[in-house]
Structure 1
Amino acid sequence: MTEPTLSEAEYDAITDAAAHWCMRLHASDCTDAERRAFKQWHDADPLHAFEYEAMLEIWATADHLPRVEPPATLASPAPRPRSRWSRLAVAAAVLAVGLPLAAFTGWHLGWVANSYEHFEAGANVRHITLSDGSQVELNLGSELVFANYKHERRVTLEKGEAFFDVSHDKQHPFVVRAGQGQVRVTGTRFNVWMYQDQVRVTLVEGSVWVTSNQALASTGSQLTPGMQASYKAGDYQPQVRDIGADDSSLAWRNGKLVLDNLALSEALPLINRYLARPVMLADNSTGSLRIGGIYSLNEVQNLVPSLPKVLPVYLTQNKDGNPVLNAIGQRPAPH
């Protein structure tokens, strides 16, 4: 049986992921959750293991760091010719000239970042300045990583929400990866919201290119101010719509969560983003009930117990301990 042939973009996406994990596993603030996520990625495909091993060779030699071995050893697939040749070239340069050239070569090949930053926001909105001068507002409970490569500036939104005011640099694009897609710009102002595999991009100024699949960066949608793109895992193209002047997507910057007569099925992802235990719906009938109101971000956790006071619902709990909303008149679904 013939193995599927990956496109160059798909290979590049795997190499980028290997570089990201190499940096994260060597970072002092690498969490247990990240290590578990790495193991899942590493074990998902032999090519992942191969690219990570190749990246370790460059990383460990360039910065003289101890090797961080993967949790399990997998058989390496046959390498792609260009990738293997490039890595051998780097190895030869290291042997011939030494460690400084390895880092220099890795930077010029676009494999190694010369700047790497990790930011988190806890119970308050956090304002940060990236090393390229771009300004970012991080919403509560949000986390991102910034890496500066030769050919692009790259942000990975690990969770939550962020508003970006990007420093203009036409020759050095700014890419935000969120979920399975990404946003590409040179200088603009926009918001990225993410919950589980759902992502929503809202453009305030300039223009951005949004794709729902990082491996298919050429397929996507161009946004202009006043437009919003949404996607989730598996979407071939993002869904794009115009938003009005009264859109509440950026209300979080003023410490508010605005629910504008939304169905519970639409409102819960916005609410759950702030909760330790997400609220579940008993059935589609419950999800069709509508809710509105303006809530303080620091008090969203108090919203769930109050829902039976404003909606015809009652609360139960599933076997995992999550609260479940049930419409009155509906039998609780088995959990």
Structure 2
Amino acid sequence: MTTINWELLINYINGNCNRHDAELVQNWCDEQQENLYLLTYLERRRAELQQPLKQTDIDEQWLRLLSRMFPTGQSITGRANPLKPFWFIGLAASLLLVSALGWFYYKNSLATDQLQIVQTNANTRNRVTLPDGTLVYLAPDSKLTFNGFGGEKREVNLSGEAFFDVKHLVNNPFIIHTEEHLSVTVLGTSFNVFVRKHLNPEVKVATGLVGVTTTGQHTHFLKAGEQLTSNVDSHLVSIKTVVAKDASALQSGTLYFDNCDANEIAQKIERWYSIKVKVLPGAKNARRFSGEMKDNGVAELLKGLSYATGIRYQFEKTNTLLLF
């Protein structure tokens, strides 16, 4: 079990430690959720360190506070040098101001927070940082619901599409629930989930191992570069190999095409920009396309695709995109 001293922890919060020390702190956070809670708490209190504070019996009261916050046997060890620099005195005194009771209230409130909802419209995307440090990249017309992750499981609800870069916590599985009879369970990995009404749900894995539970409580395990699709009507499941970086398209802001014909190109545009696309007969003779294109807006994307494939395009007054 990783042990760190307080000076190293504060250096990390202030951004003053090297890569090796930063990895030590990150490993320490991964080992116990209590440790991650403490780091988050200290970062939130950091603003108070700017005020000059008197050192009145700091050492004795500091150790008393630590004994309340950490029962015997927890992983963080070490006592700071009595000749503390100013910022360390500030940290100790500011923590004493809120007292151990305030710490425990904060910790427990994470478990009882009301549900938080993040929602995007047809023209927006959003990056969300969850309480555990997990990053979520929401596609247009998507909704994510979550709480403070105070229990043993980290659970969220998703409708729409999102890329998840999940913080690894070995004792706290991360679970995504959907309305389409599909759930995803991981400990720490990155993947994309697509779940929209009346469309086939998909899970694509960028890194790590992902467990996907479908209708009938069947669990399928996917590795990097694999995609699971569940038929919305028959609930039959298919798994195929895909380009791994395609799974992280929402994170990178890049669209990936793998030998796509006009219909497949239309599907990608529909999903990415949340617009209706209609493929007319003339587009069936277009060249297939493999490659990647940075998202600089739908107009720039269409110009590039038209040059590469020969597809022509036009927007109707109803905002439907025609490919021909």
- Using the size of structure 2 for normalisation, the TM-score is 0.52
Q: Is the 8 A contact 1:134 1:164 kept in 2?
A: no
Alignment of 1:1-335 (within 5 A): 114-120=113-119, 126-131=126-131, 133-141=132-140, 142-147=142-147, 148=149, 152-168=153-169, 170=171, 173-178=173-178, 180-194=180-194, 196=196, 197-213=199-215, 216=216, 218-243=217-242, 247-283=245-281, 286=284, 289-304=287-302, 307-315=305-313, 320-326=318-324
1:55-103: per-residue Cα shift (whole Å, max 9, x none)?
xxxxxxxxxxxxxxxxxxxxxxxxxxxxxxxxxxxxxxxxxxxxxxxxx
Q: Is the 8 A contact 2:174 2:186 kept in 1?
A: yes
Cα distance in 1 for residues equivalent to 2:126 and 2:306? 33
Q: CA deviation at 1:138?
A: 0.8
Letter of the 1:240 counterpart: I
Q: CA deviation at 1:226?
A: 3.8
Q: Is the 8 A contact 1:229 1:239 kept in 2?
A: yes
1:151-204: per-residue Cα shift (whole Å, max 9, x none)?
74322222232223144254x542213461433324121212426424332234
Letter of the 1:180 counterpart: E
Cα distance in 2 for residues equivalent to 1:285 and 1:304? 13
Cα distance change, pair 297–156 in 1 and its aligned pair in 2 (3 A): farther
Aligned residues: 209
Q: Is the 8 A contact 2:180 2:195 kept in 1?
A: no
Q: CA deviation at 1:279?
A: 1.5
Cα distance in 1 for residues equivalent to 2:203 and 2:318? 31
Cα distance change, pair 186–221 in 1 and its aligned pair in 2 (3 A): closer
Cα distance in 2 for residues equivalent to 1:187 and 1:294? 30
Q: CA deviation at 1:124?
A: 7.6
Structure 2 residue matching 1:220: 3-state secondary structure = strand
Cα distance in 1 for residues equivalent to 2:133 and 2:308? 42
Cα distance change, pair 299–273 in 1 and its aligned pair in 2 (3 A): same
1:29-70: per-residue Cα shift (whole Å, max 9, x none)?
xxxxxxxxxxxxxxxxxxxxxxxxxxxxxxxxxxxxxxxxxx
Letter of the 2:212 counterpart: V
Where structure 2 has 5 or more consecutive residues not aligned to the other structure, the ranges are 1-110
Cα distance in 1 for residues equivalent to 2:243 and 2:223? 13
Name the structure, 1 or 2, with higher relative contact order (CA <8 Å, separation 6+).
2
Q: Is the 8 A contact 1:179 1:232 kept in 2?
A: no
Q: Is the 8 A contact 1:259 1:292 kept in 2?
A: yes
Q: Is the 8 A contact 1:212 1:232 kept in 2?
A: no
Cα distance in 2 for residues equivalent to 1:193 and 1:306? 27
Letter of the 2:288 counterpart: R
Letter of the 1:228 counterpart: Q
Q: Is the 8 A contact 1:281 1:287 kept in 2?
A: no
Q: Is the 8 A contact 1:199 1:231 kept in 2?
A: yes
Letter of the 1:257 counterpart: L
1:222-272: per-residue Cα shift (whole Å, max 9, x none)?
223443212342242432123466x43324422211223212222222222
Cα distance in 1 for residues equivalent to 2:130 and 2:176? 13
Letter of the 2:202 counterpart: R
Could you tell me the percent identity over the aligned residues?
18
Structure 2 residue matching 1:274: 3-state secondary structure = helix
Cα distance in 1 for residues equivalent to 2:143 and 2:160? 5
Q: Is the 8 A contact 1:279 1:322 kept in 2?
A: yes
Q: CA deviation at 1:135?
A: 0.9
Where structure 1 has 5 or more consecutive residues not aligned to the other structure, the ranges are 1-111, 327-335
Cα distance in 1 for residues equivalent to 2:176 and 2:208? 15
Structure 2 residue matching 1:273: 3-state secondary structure = helix
Give the aligned CA root-mean-square deviation in angstroms: 3.6
Cα distance in 2 for residues equivalent to 1:178 and 1:298? 30
Cα distance in 1 for residues equivalent to 2:291 and 2:186? 36
Q: Is the 8 A contact 1:119 1:145 kept in 2?
A: yes
Q: Is the 8 A contact 2:138 2:162 kept in 1?
A: yes
Cα distance change, pair 193–313 in 1 and its aligned pair in 2 (3 A): same
Cα distance in 1 for residues equivalent to 2:161 and 2:139? 7
Cα distance in 2 for residues equivalent to 1:309 and 1:186? 41
